[in-house]
Amino acid sequence: MGLKPKSANFDFLSAAHTGYRTAWDNHASLLRLAALPILIKIGCIAAIVFLGFNNQILRHGLMMIPSYFAEGFLIAYIIRTLHAGDDLAADVKQARRHFDDVLAGMIAFVLIQLVLAFVIGYTLSAMPDMPTDVAAADITADQQSNAMQGFFMALSVLAFMLWAFRFAWLHVPIAMGIPLSKFLVRIQSFSASFPMLGCWLAVFMPLAFAMVMISQGISMVLPETAGAESQLAVLVIGSFQGFCEIVINVVSAIAMSYGFKSLMDAK
């Protein structure tokens, strides 16, 4: 008789709350640490805007590689420092004591971001154009059959994305020093993705809402018209959203790390 597998659930609301509280308690240190990654990200966004790669997701991902490395180091260092009991206000040279974990977490983050950029870019490029006139919108029986097939395929893709959501966070346990083999065994059930998704949404939704509202305000101050003003608006909004993305990724990673800790510590 086999052993019953351990539950892969954790209190995602408690983890999200801890993530927010930890980030707020250490906001001064986190802003100091994030200054250089933010500048690198703004530089990458500026290059994308001026080269005209805004709507080219694959090239967008390649141009963001320096930012991915900087952000990956930031997240891995913060997570390792917090869970090692070190002081975030101390010199970053203390990362030498956990060099392997920080380096591995950074590399994992970069690879995950590149895979996501490729998947999103390929998906968007493969999407068919929708008909814009009434004549083109007439649906035949064959088209209805194809539509049903597409619907079930979309459900399959959605289920796969939900299952694969856990792998978007592998840089977190790696940076924490958790053996990856043990972590993968613990999250092998399909339901393991649900608390991760809940934790991410609990962090993402409020911050994303604030980001969208402020971006709308910026776009009203800097309307996107023809010429240089349009590029200025895109650059300013893109830079602000890049800053918000780093904030969301850092807080989400901190919250997820406490969820993973409770998950691995559970009997």
> From CA 128, how far away is CA 148, in angstroms rounded?
15
| Arithmetic mean of pLDDT, 103-114 | 94
Q: Is residue 176 included in any domain, yes or no?
A: yes
Query: What is the CB neighbour count within 10 angstroms for residue 203?
Result: 27
If pLDDT is split at 50, 70 and 90, which confidence band does 87 have? confident
| Domains held by the chain: number | 1
| Arithmetic mean of pLDDT, 23-28 | 94
* Stated length of the chain: 267
Name the maximum alpha-carbon separation found in the chain.
72
Indicate if the alpha-carbon torsion angle 48, 53, 55, 58 is positive or negative. Answer: negative
Q: Is residue 100 included in any domain, yes or no?
A: yes
pLDDT of residue 133: 47
Q: Is residue 140 included in any domain, yes or no?
A: no
| Arithmetic mean of pLDDT, 107-129 | 77
Say which residue the tokens 């500026």 belong to: 46
| Tokens, residue 149 | 């097939």
Question: Which domain does 108 fall in, by range?
Answer: 12-125+149-265
Q: Is residue 2 included in any domain, yes or no?
A: no
Q: Is residue 33 included in any domain, yes or no?
A: yes
pTM of this structure: 0.84
| Tokens, residue 126 | 């493969």
DSSP letter at 129?
Answer: P
Residues 6+ apart with CB under 8 A from 260: 10, 169, 172, 173, 176, 178, 183
> From CA 148, how far away is CA 127, in angstroms rounded?
16
Lowest mean pLDDT among 92-101, 107-116, 126-135, 153-162: 126-135
Report long-range pairs for 194-198 (Cβ below 8 Å, ≥24 apart).
Answer: 194/9, 195/8, 195/9, 195/10, 195/11, 195/12, 195/259, 196/12, 196/165, 196/166, 196/169, 196/256, 196/259, 197/162, 197/165, 198/12, 198/13
> From CA 152, how far away is CA 158, in angstroms rounded?
10
Q: Where are the alpha helices (DSSP H) in 127-192?
A: 141-164, 171-176, 180-186
For residue 100, CA distances in Å to 11, 45, 57, 104, 264 come to 29, 30, 31, 6, 21
Lowest mean pLDDT among 94-103, 198-207, 252-261: 94-103
Q: Is residue 79 included in any domain, yes or no?
A: yes
Q: Is residue 137 included in any domain, yes or no?
A: no
Q: Is residue 63 included in any domain, yes or no?
A: yes
If pLDDT is split at 50, 70 and 90, which confidence band does 141 have? low
pLDDT of residue 190: 83
When mean pLDDT is compared over 66-75, 82-91, 210-219, 229-238, the highest value belongs to: 66-75
pLDDT of residue 125: 61
